[in-house]
């Protein structure tokens, strides 16, 4: 009777149950792995899209900066042209004030007894032509011109004694000097106060 007992079906059933558990575990592991891969894929795709958006923003910012940098040479040329215009305007302003400055200065230079016939101003050089009653008055004119902070390169070019037997002798002269440009905030009254 022992020969008819067979335990193999029980073992087969147990093996089959273990196999089913194993396959279930493998299926669950595959599902978990697939879910992990899918989640990682979704996360990485989102990160990649976000990074691409940042890259596009950076590219737009770089393009805007490159456009601004391309304008720099043009702006530099405009700045230089503006500076040149300002320098020309400043020169014109100073040249315009030269006549006023000279006319404010002449009464402090010319002593009594000296008469000016002609005053010429060209490129800051002033030429005086006139007559004086004596050499002392002409010397005073030259001394005042040499001591003036507004004048430089003072020179007398000619002295001619004129006059007939019945007329008093007069001395005709020709002198020149260079006029310094008036500084900002300085007026002719300041120049007049500096007369020796």
Tens of pLDDT along the chain (196 residues) come to: 456 665 667 777 888 899 999 999 999 999 999 999 999 999 999 999 999 999 999 999 999 999 988 888 988 999 999 999 998 888 777 677 777 777 888 888 888 888 888 888 877 788 888 888 888 888 888 888 888 888 888 888 878 877 656 666 778 888 888 887 655 444 444 444 444 3
Domains and CATH numbers, the chain: 98-193 (3.30.70.2830)
Instruction: Give the Cβ contact number of residue 109 at 10 Å.
Output: 25
The dihedral through the CA atoms of 143, 168, 103, 154 has a sign that is negative
Provide the strand spans (E) within the chain: 114-122, 125-132, 151-162, 170-179
Per-residue pLDDT tens for 10-40? Answer: 777 888 899 999 999 999 999 999 999 999 9
The span from the first CA to the last CA of the chain, in angstroms, equals 158
Q: What is the pLDDT of residue 157?
A: 81
State how far Cα 125 lies from the chain centre.
34
- Left (φ > 0), alpha (ψ -120 to 50) or beta: where does 152 sit? beta
Per-residue pLDDT tens for 174-184? Answer: 888 888 765 54
């Amino acid at each position: 009777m022992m020969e008819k007992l067979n335990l193999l079906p029980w073992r087969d059933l147990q093996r089959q149950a273990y196999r089913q558990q194993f396959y279930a575990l493998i299926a669950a592991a595959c599902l978990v792995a697939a879910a992990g891969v899918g989640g990682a894929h979704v996360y990485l795709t989102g990160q990649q899209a976000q990074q691409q958006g940042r890259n596009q923003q950076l590219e737009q910012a770089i393009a805007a900066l490159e456009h601004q940098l391309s304008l720099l040479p043009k702006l530099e040329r405009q700045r230089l042209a503006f500076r040149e215009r300002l320098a020309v305007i400043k020169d014109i302003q100073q040249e315009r004030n030269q006549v006023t400055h000279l006319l404010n200065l002449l009464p402090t230079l010319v002593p009594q007894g000296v008469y000016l016939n002609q005053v010429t101003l060209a490129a800051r050089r002033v030429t005086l032509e006139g007559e004086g009653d004596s050499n002392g008055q002409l010397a005073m004119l030259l001394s005042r011109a040499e001591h003036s902070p507004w004048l430089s390169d003072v020179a007398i070019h000619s002295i001619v004694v004129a006059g007939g037997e019945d007329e008093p002798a007069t001395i005709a002269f020709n002198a020149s000097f260079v006029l310094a440009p008036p500084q900002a905030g300085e007026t002719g009254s300041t120049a007049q106060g500096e007369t020796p």
